[in-house]
Amino acid sequence: MLQQQFTKRSLANLKIAGHLLANYLTDGLHEVGMLNMPFRLKALKLFFVAGFIMSILGSVLGIIRLLKTAKVFEWLKPELRKLHKDALDPIKRSFCRPKHWVTMSQEMLNLDASADQVSGANQFGAMPIVSIQSASFFQPSFWTALIPLQSANRLREKMHLELLKLSTNCVHLQADKSGHFVWVDRPDVMIDAVKIVLEKVDS
């Protein structure tokens, strides 16, 4: 049941102020490293923004719904097939809504502002933190050969090293066989991370 609950929703891309909670969740896309991206990664960001904008139009016209019915999403990301139908259906329904792609576009367009905002939250003392690192930003496939995946992974490595410096009580978990969407590829690692934090808080 706990695993299904994790796969029903993605983690919010938030870095919560340390004085408010005993731990926080973060997405590496929102770290300071985003302010120093090489040109190829900046171009990749714009490519994704363009794709999200096209998806807004596609969802309005019902094209995304047709792709959902044809199970194209499962073809593009086979890991989705592992999810229980009760968990997968809400995810796929969200793809059909323009608001989903509007949010994705806004996230990408505001990465610099987000990174600038979290730059001030850089020291959390002995706060329990678990940093989860996927095996790769994207699972290698036929289409990832068209993007600078190695550059993205190198930047991601640097950001995870910086995350480990946020606290003297930080644990690093490697989510093998996972892309950026760890909650889809390795929900078991997400559950392990929560257990570790709870144990540290209770100890």
**Cα Rg of the chain (Å, integer):** 17
Both tokens assigned to 148? 């600078």
Residue that has been written with the tokens 């066989």 in this structure: 177
Q: What is d(CA 144, CA 202) in angstroms, rounded to the nearest whole number?
A: 42
User: pLDDT for 132-162, tens place per residue?
Assistant: 888 887 777 777 777 888 888 888 888 888 8
Rounded average pLDDT over 124-139: 83
Per-chain mean pLDDT for the chain: 79
User: What is the domain extent for residue 24?
Assistant: 2-202
Domain count, the chain: 1
Q: Strand (E) positions, the chain?
A: 129-134, 170-175
78 burial via Cβ count (<10 Å: 0-12, 13-18, 19+):
exposed
User: What is the model's pLDDT at position 119?
Assistant: 76
Neighbouring residues of 129: CB distance < 8 A, sequence distance ≥ 6: 23, 24, 163, 166, 167, 169, 170, 171, 197
Given the DSSP bridges, would you call strands 170-175 and 129-134 parallel, antiparallel or unpaired? parallel
C-beta neighbour count of 156 within 10 angstroms: 19
User: pLDDT for 65-94, tens place per residue?
Assistant: 999 999 998 888 777 887 788 888 888 999
